[in-house]
Structure 1
Amino acid sequence: MTDALKIVGLGEALFDVFDDREVLGGAPLNVAVQAHALLQAARQGEGIVVSRIGADARGARLRDDVAARGMAIDWLQVDSQRPTGTVLVTLQQGEPHYEIVADVAWDFLQATDELHRLAETCSAVCFGTLAQRSDAARSSIHFFLERAATAIRLFDVNLRQEYFDADILAASCQLATIVKLNEAELPQVVAILATAGKLPASSTAYASLDDQAAALREAFALRALVLTRGKLGTTLYESAGKATGEPVSYPRDANADSVGAGDACSAGILFGLLHDWPSERTVQLANHLGAFVASQPGATPTLPAEIMALVR
């Protein structure tokens, strides 16, 4: 599958608001932006952001930023009543902490005939828990996923504040072909699902991350499970076993933060799987992407030639 690929980021599109700046953000948007860069480098398709923004100055900036990257803005719905989403970001010992503003435009993403057609033709889609905090957006996301039957459907868990529960986690795992989480989220998700009776109760007794990953992958018949471990890199679990790669590092910008590093990793995983790469090569790309974004300010920095060379 290498012709006219479409990788969709489905859910929140917003601005991460730091003390001194505002930068484009939202995990699905971040994935789509980096996937677009990879696909354009390989001359094989596009990344697409599906979200809803306000009819306000931030919404106009977001559309302009997406368009300036050569990406389509057709899938950015405009809400005349609610503002463009924002997240207040603070860094504590270098790690980002988020205060997510509620009742914003992307909470009211609408299912449309156009989204139906996109779902049927996309190659892959990435979604998370946050955009499912409202009934309206959750219904629209499920609408899309149910129609994306032939696509790789990556559930990038991204637990945020109180915006998740066992039902959302279980339904998302059932709609996904791949689940991605970090080493803190994996035991938490396993415990939540086991307590709710959606995983075998014995799952909570698994001491190792490997066993927990296997329990989750097998319970939901997933094609793969992706585990990120910060500086230790990414592990890809599939039926044939697991693949890991050597940790990667890039020179750190003075204003670097780790926002978006996991999303860049997701873009790399999707690119590799869509090209049927060996698992080790896919993990290598994911590790490079995550490490580079973690070395830079903001979630969607321009990717360097070193990374682009990995996909050409």
Structure 2
Amino acid sequence: MKNTVVGLGEILWDVFPERKVLGGAPANFAYHASQFGFNGYAVSAIGDDLLGKEILTSLEEKGLNYLLEKTDYPTGTVQVTLNKAGVPEYEICENVAWDNIPFTARTENLAKSTQTVCFGSLAQRNSVSRETIRKFITAMPEDSLKIFDINLRLNFYSKEIIHESLEMANMMKINDEEVIKVANLYGWKGDEQEICGRLLEDYKLDILVLTKGTDGSFVFTPRQTSYQPTPKVHVADTVGAGDSFTAAFVAAYLHGERIEDAHQLAVEVSAYVCLQHGAMPKLADSYLELFRK
């Protein structure tokens, strides 16, 4: 498989009390997609600094393609602390390189050959990266898959950004906490499934994924609903688990698997990632061989 799958947006170092690990939801997604045999690309920006050089070295070691423009801004970092359940809490530094991703000729050329892109709201907190994301998606082939992994963080989002992103997307991923925030922004009433149904219908989405932590997950399409319980595992941390869920689902979906089978794989892979430390662990061989025939 040489289909190009891009994670577009933030790339950064998640800095834990005892270590730092490479992160950023789009980069996590691209890495896991690449593990399934796709031509994964991380598209973002770094600073001309040691942390930026370390990102390049790390991506080289992981074998992930990248298009990372150098900027005059520092490479992004996030201070991460884990609560007793292993759930991360974030302190996200502002005015960093990934806030200022330029749209270059190289970026446009990549967009024209991209089958799938995953983007979120966080990298759109700054107008420079927001405009680059819009231009990238506009330049993609008409029949491509455009995934809005909403990824609401702190106060770095608005109804306008969510609306414009959904207008560009044909697939959405959201969690149970984010559903409540979106419903409040839109002034909508109803339970989680009703809100998801309204998003699916109003924005003419092909797929909407709702994750609910230990309470399972749903995949909604205009024609069907799939539910999967969350496996009970001993959680090391949940950083990147949602991104691996999205990548596994998309890998199976693009390979022509049924929605429920793609959903099952996504649940298994994200549970496996919860067993590991960091957002980009190497997946078990049993997953990696699935589509390499």
Q: Any gaps of 5 or more consecutive residues in structure 1?
A: 40-44, 196-203
Contact (CA 8 Å) 2:172, 2:207: kept in 1 or not?
A: yes
Q: How many Å apart are 1:305 and its aligned residue?
A: 1.8
Alignment of 1:288-303 (within 5 A): 288-303=268-283
Q: 2 CA distance for matches of 1:47 and 1:234?
A: 25
Picking from 231, 252, 263, the partner of 1:283 is: 263
> What corresponds to 1:4 in structure 2?
2
Picking from 186, 189, 198, the partner of 2:182 is: 189
Other structure's SS at 2:283 match:
coil
Q: How many Å apart are 1:90 and its aligned residue?
A: 0.8
Q: Deviations over 1:92-139 (max 9, x none)?
A: 222110000001111110111221121121110000011001011100
Other structure's SS at 1:222 match:
coil
Contact (CA 8 Å) 1:246, 1:284: kept in 2 or not?
A: no
Contact (CA 8 Å) 2:122, 2:157: kept in 1 or not?
A: yes
Alignment of 1:5-84 (within 5 A): 5-39=3-37, 45-73=38-66, 75-79=67-71, 81-84=72-75
TM-score by length of 2: 0.95
Number of aligned residues = 290
Q: Give me the CA root mean square deviation.
A: 1.4
> What corresponds to 1:198 in structure 2?
none
Q: Which moved more, 1:223-232 or 1:136-145?
A: 223-232
Q: Which moved more, 1:107-116 or 1:24-33?
A: 107-116
Q: How many Å apart are 1:22 and its aligned residue?
A: 0.3
> What corresponds to 1:42 in structure 2?
none
> What corresponds to 2:98 in structure 1?
106
Alignment of 1:120-131 (within 5 A): 120-131=112-123
Other structure's SS at 1:289 match:
helix
Q: How many Å apart are 1:205 and its aligned residue?
A: 2.1
Q: Any gaps of 5 or more consecutive residues in structure 2?
A: none
Other structure's SS at 2:152 match:
coil
What is the identity percentage for the equivalent residue pairs of Structure 1 and Structure 2? 36
Q: 2 CA distance for matches of 1:269 and 1:293?
A: 14
Contact (CA 8 Å) 1:249, 1:292: kept in 2 or not?
A: no
Picking from 109, 112, 137, the partner of 1:145 is: 137
TM-score by length of 1: 0.89
- What amino acid maps onto 1:150 in structure 2? D
